[in-house]
Structure 1
């Protein structure tokens, strides 16, 4: 599920344009793979601040057991990593050293996790019958560096974090399969995942344009000087919430009929409204009593237009989006 889309941008600078195209390519692959998956949340181009420091994350995937950061790299030519883990970019047989994008991604993830740790009590439930506060400490933390499809990389040492952009979704699935085999693995609840995504999206602050991705630059080109930036606040409703606040669900939960007839589900085959929600291999879906057809249950928030997730309590189903809005979606008769 895409919680934060990649903003559309135009760049006159060739290097900035190449960097943005790498991010756009990666965002496309992630949307194809996880756009309709209710258990994987994707936030593109996330920028959060903590204690005067900034974490600029190209792509963040919130998984059931932890966080995964994808760092997009636009590569014109070739990258190489030697036995000491040192990175070099090549252009016309000329090499120039560059910082490790793996370490760069880990630093962004560390700052992001530190921000979440500051708000543990707001984001995580209490365990052990409410006697002990759960923490983010045991969650899994992964990074991947996505090299654009046209780039090449030569490794003289194992760098499992580096993959081509189109291979990232499969690598994510591989990590998930690995964790599913661990019965004692830390996991987030549905409510915790929703709160975490809403919190991060609400804490996103737009900044100045990112500097060009030097991995894509020919060696003779010098890196431009860093530009000072003035953050511009932007959140779910145009205002960044104070550090202690979270989006709060409205006290009243509207019925489907109250949020417009477009929200009332119908069978996609016969258009009947004689439906009941059932759970199957791919999540919740509507079963039609008239034609026995199946229709995916994919609620969309009537307030902020974000995809929402369903939770069940007896015959009643409640929808909640990452923006913190909640409403009664359906009741099985």
Structure 2
């Protein structure tokens, strides 16, 4: 299932095109940035098409494109993320090379410079992706995660680098570059990973780790809710559409169908803990189906969020409603829960657990 597409960058490209007109260092820099940006977008678009073709319609896979995470001062810009019902997370980095790629005996990556007629060094995408996985692992540990017998199910992270199908790759026989593959080989690679597993490992994963497609979607949407697109004034490349407000550039995320929280000129509900109200009725929109009381906490279980009543200890399934055809979701932020709907762009405090 496709959870998130790539953020729209047409406004940034248009801005670079305007800045690249004319002469001078600034125009030259803008033209170079525009060329790099277009090449990167071309590679990501080609990879995204192949990923969506094989996995976008599968109920057992969640597909996320262009996910930027921030956690404790570290960031990760993940080009593509695949999650299956064994909680295998494939972190995919797309690279586009016009004239080919070389990997030497020491694992150094070199790209061919057609202007200089020589190879030039570049940062290792394998090391880059490992850093992305470190941040993703921390973020995954901070959200509601599927459990089995009261214990969190351990995710498995896989790193793959996707190269354009037409690109040339010169590989060293002394360095393991098997994680660098052509984008059109991705499905075969994943199938091979699954088929080559030890039967006992497969049995363990089936009995101890397998989750439903609904749970896979729930995990994926929580990760998408952590998406933090860049702004121009952060000094790095933006990843969403640009709008002008109060003399500075602001980025609007284009996450679908559930948008991630992002800076907005209008006030939004504050997730910060507040003093306990005199009545639970003031901070909740859910009541126990058995006794009707509103005192309790929202918890996460096998089938998603539910309300645990303090009065009778009964459980009530959380069912959100909105306009016909809309699909509201519940977003957890600390002890606060927000009812949000991407279709009508609404967000409101739904319930607050005890601190």
TM-score bracket, normalised by the shorter chain, equals 0.5 to 0.7
Is residue 2:142 matched to residue 1:153? no
Is residue 2:222 matched to residue 1:199? yes
Larger Rg, first or second structure (1 or 2)? 2
Question: How far apart are residue 202 of structure 1 and its match?
Answer: 0.9
Question: How far apart are residue 237 of structure 1 and its match?
Answer: 4.6
Q: Tell me the residue number matched to 2:47.
A: 26
Structure 2 Cα separation of the partners of residues 167 and 232 of structure 1: 34
Task: Map Cα deviations across residues 111-148 of structure 1 (whole Å, 9 max, x no partner).
Answer: 101111123xx2222x33xxx32243xx3211111111
Matches within 5 A, 1:106-117: 106-117=130-141
Question: How far apart are residue 248 of structure 1 and its match?
Answer: 6.2
- Which of these residues, 56, 65, 81, is aligned with residue 60 of structure 1? 81
Matches within 5 A, 1:283-294: none
Task: Map Cα deviations across residues 18-65 of structure 1 (whole Å, 9 max, x no partner).
Answer: 101111111110111112100011100001110121111000001222
Structure 1 Cα separation of the partners of residues 62 and 219 of structure 2: 10
Is residue 2:191 matched to residue 1:173? yes
CA contact (8 A) 2:227 2:261 kept: no
TM-score, normalised by the number of residues in structure 1: 0.63
Question: How far apart are residue 304 of structure 1 and its match?
Answer: 4.3
Matches within 5 A, 1:65-214: 65=86, 66-92=88-114, 93-119=117-143, 122-125=144-147, 127-128=148-149, 132-136=150-154, 139-156=155-172, 157-179=175-197, 181=199, 182-185=202-205, 187-190=209-212, 191-208=214-231, 211=237
CA contact (8 A) 1:205 1:232 kept: no
Label 1:80 to 1:53 Cα distance change in 2 as closer, same or farther (>3 A): same
Task: Map Cα deviations across residues 169-196 of structure 1 (whole Å, 9 max, x no partner).
Answer: 2212222333484212362422542321
Q: Tell me the residue number matched to 1:313.
A: none
Structure 2 residue runs without a partner (length 5+): 18-33, 239-248, 263-269, 274-297, 307-316, 330-340, 343-355
Structure 1 Cα separation of the partners of residues 191 and 216 of structure 2: 18
TM-score, normalised by the number of residues in structure 2: 0.59
Structure 1 Cα separation of the partners of residues 318 and 77 of structure 2: 34
Is residue 2:38 matched to residue 1:17? yes
SS of structure 1 residue aligned to 2:196: helix
SS of structure 2 residue aligned to 1:206: coil
Structure 1 residue runs without a partner (length 5+): 213-228, 261-301, 307-321, 324-333
Of 84-93 and 41-50, more deviation after overlay is shown by: 84-93
Structure 1 Cα separation of the partners of residues 219 and 129 of structure 2: 20
Structure 2 Cα separation of the partners of residues 243 and 94 of structure 1: 55
SS of structure 1 residue aligned to 2:141: helix
Label 1:104 to 1:238 Cα distance change in 2 as closer, same or farther (>3 A): closer
Structure 1 Cα separation of the partners of residues 179 and 72 of structure 2: 28
